[in-house]
Structure 1
Amino acid sequence: MNYQRRRFLQILLVGGSTVAVSACVGGSGDGNPLNNPPAPNLNPAPDLGDAPADILAMELPLSPGPLMSIGPLENSGVDGILIPPEFEIRRVAVSGLTSSTAIPLPSLGLINYPWHIFPDGGAVFDLDDGGWIYVSNSEITPAGGVGVLRFNRDGEITDSYPILRNTRQNCAGGPTPWQTWLSCEEVPDGRVYECDPLGTPDTARELPALGIFNHEAVAVDLTTKTLYLTEDSGSGRLYRFRSGGMTVSINGKPGLDMDNGILEVLEIEGFEAGAYQQDLVEARTVKRVRWVPVQSPDRPQSQARSEIEIATGAGAPGTVFKGGEGIWIQELPEGQRPQVSGANNPLRAVVYFACKGDNRVYALDIDNDLIEVVFDNEQLIAPDTPFDDVDNITISPMGDVIVAEDGDAMRLMVMNPNGPSKILLQIPGGGSELTGPAFTGNGRFLYFSSQRGNAAGPGVPGLGITYELTIPERFRAG
Structure 2
Amino acid sequence: MVAGIAGPFAGVACAGAQGGAKAAPSGYGSLRPVRDLRDGKVRLYLPEGFKYRSFSTAGEKFSDGSTVPGRHDGMAAFSGPGGSTILIRNHEVNGSVGAFGDKERAYDPMAGGGTSTLRVTRYGEVIKSGPSLNGTMMNCSGGPMPWRAWVSCEETVNGPDVADDFSGGDNSRLTEKHGYIFEVPVGRVATARPIRSAGRFPHESAAFDPSSGAIYLTEDNFGFPSGFYRYLPPKHPVLAGKLLDGGRLQMLAVKGAKRKDLSLGQEPGAAYATEWVDIDDPDPDFRGKPSNDEVVQAVGRQGRAKGAAIFSRLEGAVFHQGTVYFVSTQGGDTDPADPPPSGFGKGRGQVWAYETWSGRLKLVYESPRASALDLPDNVTVSRRGTLVLCEDGEGDNYLRGLTRSGQIFDFCRLKPIPDDPGAEFAGSTFGPGGHTLYVNVQAKQGRSIAIWGPWERGLF
Q: TM-score range by the shorter chain?
A: 0.7 to 0.9
Q: Which 5+ residue runs of structure 1 have no aligned equivalent?
A: 1-16, 18-52, 98-104, 332-348, 453-461
Residue 44 of structure 2, aligned match among 81, 96, 100: 81
1:215 corresponds to which residue?
203
TM-score by length of 2: 0.74
1:341 corresponds to which residue?
none
How far the C-alpha of 1:245 sits from its partner, in A, is: 2.2
Give yes or no for contact 1:178–1:254 (8 Å, CA) kept in 2.
no
1:120 corresponds to which residue?
73
2:342 corresponds to which residue?
none
Question: Which residues in structure 2 correspond to 1:255-274 (within 5 Å)?
Answer: 255=241, 257-273=243-259
2:174 corresponds to which residue?
none
In 2, distance between residues paired with 1:262 and 1:270?
23
Residue 449 of structure 1, aligned match among 434, 440, 444: 440
Greater CA radius of gyration, 1 or 2? 1
Question: Which residues in structure 2 correspond to 1:348-427 (within 5 Å)?
Answer: 349-358=322-331, 359-378=349-368, 385-407=371-393, 408-417=395-404, 419-427=406-414
TM-score by length of 1: 0.72
Query: Alignment length, in residue pairs?
Result: 373
Provide the identity percentage. 26
Q: 1:277 to 1:60 in 2, by over 3 A?
A: farther
| Residue-by-residue CA offset, 1:71-101 (whole Å, 9 max, x unaligned) | 221111233411111111111221112xxxx
1:148 corresponds to which residue?
117
Residue 239 of structure 1, aligned match among 226, 229, 243: 229
In 1, distance between residues paired with 2:269 and 2:458?
30
1:192 corresponds to which residue?
181
Residue 165 of structure 1, aligned match among 115, 121, 134: 134
Q: 1:129 to 1:84 in 2, by over 3 A?
A: same
SS of residue paired to 1:94:
coil
- The two structures, once aligned, show a CA RMSD in angstroms of 2.8
Give yes or no for contact 2:277–2:306 (8 Å, CA) kept in 1.
no
Give yes or no for contact 1:388–1:409 (8 Å, CA) kept in 2.
no
| Residue-by-residue CA offset, 1:50-73 (whole Å, 9 max, x unaligned) | xxx6xx433543389xx9532221
Residue 415 of structure 2, aligned match among 422, 428, 440: 428
Whether 2:444 is the aligned partner of 1:466: answer no
Letter in 2 for 1:357: Q
Give yes or no for contact 1:219–1:327 (8 Å, CA) kept in 2.
yes
Q: 1:192 to 1:221 in 2, by over 3 A?
A: same
Q: Which runs of 4+ in 1 moved over 6 A?
A: none
Q: 1:213 to 1:151 in 2, by over 3 A?
A: same
SS of residue paired to 1:393:
strand
Give yes or no for contact 2:227–2:308 (8 Å, CA) kept in 1.
yes
In 2, distance between residues paired with 1:418 and 1:315?
38
In 2, distance between residues paired with 1:80 and 1:350?
34
Q: 1:222 to 1:305 in 2, by over 3 A?
A: closer
Give yes or no for contact 2:200–2:299 (8 Å, CA) kept in 1.
no
Whether 2:280 is the aligned partner of 1:295: answer yes
How far the C-alpha of 1:257 sits from its partner, in A, is: 4.5
Give yes or no for contact 1:191–1:208 (8 Å, CA) kept in 2.
yes
2:17 corresponds to which residue?
none
In 2, distance between residues paired with 1:268 and 1:418?
26
2:58 corresponds to which residue?
95
1:72 corresponds to which residue?
30
How far the C-alpha of 1:420 sits from its partner, in A, is: 3.3
Give yes or no for contact 2:53–2:124 (8 Å, CA) kept in 1.
no
Letter in 1 for 2:431: T
| Residue-by-residue CA offset, 1:429-478 (whole Å, 9 max, x unaligned) | 242121111111211111111111xxxxxxxxx12121111142525999
In 2, distance between residues paired with 1:225 and 1:209?
15
In 1, distance between residues paired with 2:236 and 2:92?
31
How far the C-alpha of 1:159 sits from its partner, in A, is: 0.6
| Residue-by-residue CA offset, 1:385-411 (whole Å, 9 max, x unaligned) | 132221001112332211100122211
In 2, distance between residues paired with 1:474 and 1:304?
45
| Residue-by-residue CA offset, 1:95-127 (whole Å, 9 max, x unaligned) | 112xxxxxxx4xxx8242332211011010112
Give yes or no for contact 1:322–1:357 (8 Å, CA) kept in 2.
yes
2:102 corresponds to which residue?
none
Q: 1:465 to 1:442 in 2, by over 3 A?
A: same
In 1, distance between residues paired with 2:185 and 2:458?
28
